[in-house]
Amino acid sequence: MHISRLQTSLMLLPSLILTVLLLLVPMCLVAVMSLTDWQFGSDQFAWVGLDNYRELWDDAGFRKSFTNTVYYMLWVSIGSITVGLVSALLVESHTSWRGFYRTALFLPVASTLIGMAVVWQFILHPTMGLLNQLLALIGVGPFNWLKDYELALPTLAAIGIWQMSGLAMVMFLAGLKGIPDELRQAAWLDGMSHPLDRMFRLTLPLLGPTMLFVVTICAIRALQVFDTVHVMTQGGPNKATDVLLHSIYAEGFGFFKMGYASAMTVVFVTGIFVLTLIQHKGMEKRTHY
């Protein structure tokens, strides 16, 4: 049955309306609000132009949260992709217990992150925590994982890798399913008998589109970290784990500086867009479809 262009447009209209109302309109309102000094709960405001952005430029706390966010994104993205790819290759290579491994590795993704953050707080407790007790058996520690300035952010990044690697694994498994068995057999006949040789010369190049998608998704999700920071460290110690979303939340709903928080939000969204665009364009040149 032939569908006219008008019918196609009418079918797309509800999605377009929802996109405008739920995404574009709020983004425009936040951009306008960033040009004011409006405080939450106040019925008055004044236009300040770009003053909020100039204040951001001079704010050492904002620069610290921006740097922490970038570091966290890099650590979690690289770690999640590596662990997810290795897990997918191991799961795919073993036919027995495959369903159990998939479920166990994907469980952190399906779990409530705030609830798991509370569990991690008990595991990482400096005196009663399971991790320090295990390290004490080999004469190491104890460590104050969440209160040490140097350890706090890497500890949260390790939790982020644990939570996100299952999602990367599932996406890599889907990509591995798309590789025909005939290509593996042909590679074997052509002399690629070693598993590492087949992985680097066959599997990884054919996983290019999947890798591009996984890198983009993991990077965006890592940039959106908030729950674990808010529950476990509240940005401390001394802003060692303060990230952009937590800073936006603190400025907007802690200090009620909605204009300033809106300016931070505009910078945050712009940063995500630019990083994603650079990442996508850079990897797409090396991706074979």
Whether the CB-CB separation of 135 and 141 falls below 8 Å is answered with yes
Instruction: Convert the pLDDT of each residue in 188-203 to its tens digit.
Output: 666 666 666 667 677 7
Cα–chain center distance at 126: 27
Instruction: Convert the pLDDT of each residue in 12-59 to its tens digit.
Output: 888 888 888 888 888 898 899 999 988 877 778 888 888 899 988 888
Contacts of residue 36, Cβ cutoff 8 Å, sequence gap at least 6 = 45, 46, 47, 48, 259
Whether the CB-CB separation of 161 and 109 falls below 8 Å is answered with no
Instruction: Convert the pLDDT of each residue in 212-228 to its tens digit.
Output: 888 888 888 898 888 88
Q: How far is it, in rounded angstroms, from Cα 172 to Cα 214?
A: 8
Q: What stretches of 75-116 adopt beta strand conformation (E)?
A: none
Q: How far is it, in rounded angstroms, from Cα 70 to Cα 244?
A: 10
End-to-end CA gap in the chain: 31
Q: How far is it, in rounded angstroms, from Cα 261 to Cα 56?
A: 10
